[in-house]
Structure 1
């Protein structure tokens, strides 16, 4: 893959990568349920955003092999965090949806992580906070690409 940026831009990309990785690791440590892996939490987050998905769709979205997703869904179902329902158009498939228990856990997790991040952001000055607010939609776009 060719290098897209050079000089100051390459340094900015490197700094952004490092900062996002460190911040992500620190956010992951603010978990509510320590028994769930980051991938399992990510699956629940995907279901919260999408409403429902087939195991194959989840595997593609989470970048895992379908057999791995089958095991993840089975574990989440055993914990009462997801339900498997018949696919409306294809009887060979199932649709995975989150339960109210998962929704409550995700809400609590978001509150905890938001509070932690707000505490960090309170150390920023007004100019830094304005820049961070302006960057949020751009970071969201990068996360969805």
Structure 2
């Protein structure tokens, strides 16, 4: 439960309050991993293609992403993040990092060491 509560607190630190977690996840994926097709995004986020299409439509309407035909296969459409989308992701990450740094700064050195060890274990578990 503590992990879920911390995750919820981090997610609340965003640059745009009206953006859903799913929308932000798509933007972060595109910023970090480059253009994707709709199917690739759906698979990566473990949602259905129609659900991802709704998310992508909202992001496109807001100007956070663009769709362009694939140069080699005109049946495919590549979804890319815009400059505004990149800036939104960067600002959200900056806010989350700042919030977490402030919270961790209030911990004792012993608590910070314990947290560092726990983070390493959690990373290992997540990689399985």
Counterpart among 78, 91, 95 of residue 112 in structure 1: 95
Higher relative contact order (CA 8 A, sep 6+): 2
Gaps of at least 5 residues in structure 2 are: none
1:43 paired to 2:26: yes
Counterpart among 25, 34, 38 of residue 8 in structure 2: 25
Bigger Cα Rg: 1
1:73 paired to 2:56: yes
Gaps of at least 5 residues in structure 1 are: 1-17
- Length-normalised TM-score, structure 2: 0.90
Q: How does 1:123-134 map to 2 (within 5 A)?
A: 123-134=106-117
Contact 2:15 2:95 in 1 (8 A): yes
- Length-normalised TM-score, structure 1: 0.80
Residues in 1 aligned to 2:30 and 2:124: alpha-carbon distance in whole angstroms: 19
Contact 2:38 2:79 in 1 (8 A): yes
Residues in 2 aligned to 1:120 and 1:38: alpha-carbon distance in whole angstroms: 22
